[in-house]
Structure 1
Amino acid sequence: MPKNPPDRVKPLDETDLALVRLLEQDGRMSNAMLAREVGIAESTCLVRVRSLRERGVVRGIHADVDPVAVGRPVEAMIAVRFGGHRRSHFEQFTEEVPQLPGVLGAYHVSGAIDYYVHVATESADALRDFVLDHLTNRPGVLHAETSLIFESLRGRGTMTRPDDEGGPEEEREERA
């Protein structure tokens, strides 16, 4: 499937943008609350949110789990560089690595590095084993360099505007 199918690039109107903004702030917000916040009928809201999901605008609703709380306190970003750049190596990497236990994200990037792999492991030993067992022995991988993450800071999201001070509650108060 192409990365930007024609359906996906269909422009979002103000109602769609408002729905995306609210879902980004609270993905568990009910359809009734979303409809009320945006000022549309619940049935219309349901259709619009379904369309946003089908078009890939809203890719999913996820729990933000603290790795430390689930026994994976060692986080790292691993820079992976390929040699030869064979398509089959990239395709295999892209399909398999995000499915490995402990992988929080994998990013195909430009420049000297081909991928960054964000992982959370139980220990430094487990991190070393992950790199050796799952990355450096992979076809085409020339080099892997591990950087420990000392602190992770979350951004405000893609839809938060510079003038947005608070979450949905403050926005509701402002509209009232």
Structure 2
Amino acid sequence: MTQAPPDLDETDERIVWELTRDGRLSNKELAERIGVAPSTCLARVRALRESGVLRSFHASPDWDALGLPIQAIVAVRLKAQARAQIRSYAQRVVTLPNVLNVFFLGGADDFFIHVACASTSQLRDFVATELSMDDSVASTQTNIVFDHLSGMEHMAESGSWRDVRAAIPSVGPSRVR
């Protein structure tokens, strides 16, 4: 059962917003950005962590610099009779060394598995041996990632979580240019 989200006030939301944009902010810098005392900021961050709103803080590595220049999103579809193993399959896959993320899906595919590899041959071998050969897998489709743009890096242009939650106005076929 999903836990109801905690009631967040504007200060809490601003803390989460700023830390999402830059998880390396010191408590002093964060307090200055949101306009509260450092002691208040520290107490708020602690409460947000304890409530589960802030789960962790992450580095964003340069995969090329780590010798893993090939990224892919592998779509995985399980066999119909393997639906009972969907969670155990995901729990096994998420522990594999090349796996960055596992996304459970609704739709034709059951998972998107985001991987980083040293070469296309390592990617091929990984998909063939670690993903496709599992008895519960019906099919895989590998999509090479050419580039990745993070929305988090552009959050200053949005402004707040309220802006993110706001209804998107209907303005025609596409707002993207």
TM-score interval (norm. to shorter): 0.7 to 0.9
Instruction: Compare 125-134 and 54-63 and name the one that shifted more.
Output: 54-63
- Where does residue 9 of structure 2 map in the other structure? 13
TM-score (norm 2): 0.81
Q: Does 1:127 align with 2:118?
A: no
Look up the equivalent residue of 2:139 and give its one-letter code.
Answer: H
Q: Does 1:149 align with 2:145?
A: yes
Aligned equivalents of 2:106 and 2:36: distance in 1? 42
Aligned equivalents of 2:137 and 2:28: distance in 1? 49
What's the offset of the Cα at 1:154? 1.5
Give the total of aligned pairs: 160
Q: Does 1:138 align with 2:138?
A: no
Instruction: Compare 95-104 and 148-157 and name the one that shifted more.
Output: 148-157
Q: How does 1:103-114 map to 2 (within 5 A)?
A: 103-114=99-110
Distance 1:74 1:61, change over 3 A: same
TM-score (norm 1): 0.81
Look up the equivalent residue of 2:142 and give its one-letter code.
Answer: T
What's the offset of the Cα at 1:85? 5.2
SS at the partner of 1:28? coil
Aligned sequence identity (%): 40
SS at the partner of 1:70? coil
What's the offset of the Cα at 1:5? 1.6
- Where does residue 72 of structure 2 map in the other structure? 76
What's the offset of the Cα at 1:36? 2.4
Aligned equivalents of 1:20 and 1:159: distance in 2? 12
Q: How does 1:15-164 map to 2 (within 5 A)?
A: 15-84=11-80, 86-156=82-152, 162=158
Q: Unaligned regions of 5+ residues in structure 1, if any?
A: 165-176
Aligned equivalents of 1:40 and 1:163: distance in 2? 18
Give per-residue Cα distances to partners, 1:62-112, cap 9 Å, x unaligned: 111111111111111100001125454212122121221121211111110
Distance 1:17 1:26, change over 3 A: same
Look up the equivalent residue of 1:146 and give its one-letter code.
Answer: T
Aligned equivalents of 2:129 and 2:47: distance in 1? 41
What's the offset of the Cα at 1:43? 2.3
Aligned equivalents of 1:25 and 1:43: distance in 2? 21
Is residue 72–residue 122 contact of structure 1 (8 Å, CA) maintained in 2?
yes
What's the offset of the Cα at 1:160? 5.1
Aligned equivalents of 2:17 and 2:157: distance in 1? 9
Is residue 73–residue 120 contact of structure 1 (8 Å, CA) maintained in 2?
yes
Q: Unaligned regions of 5+ residues in structure 2, if any?
A: 161-177
Aligned equivalents of 2:8 and 2:157: distance in 1? 16
Aligned equivalents of 1:73 and 1:118: distance in 2? 13
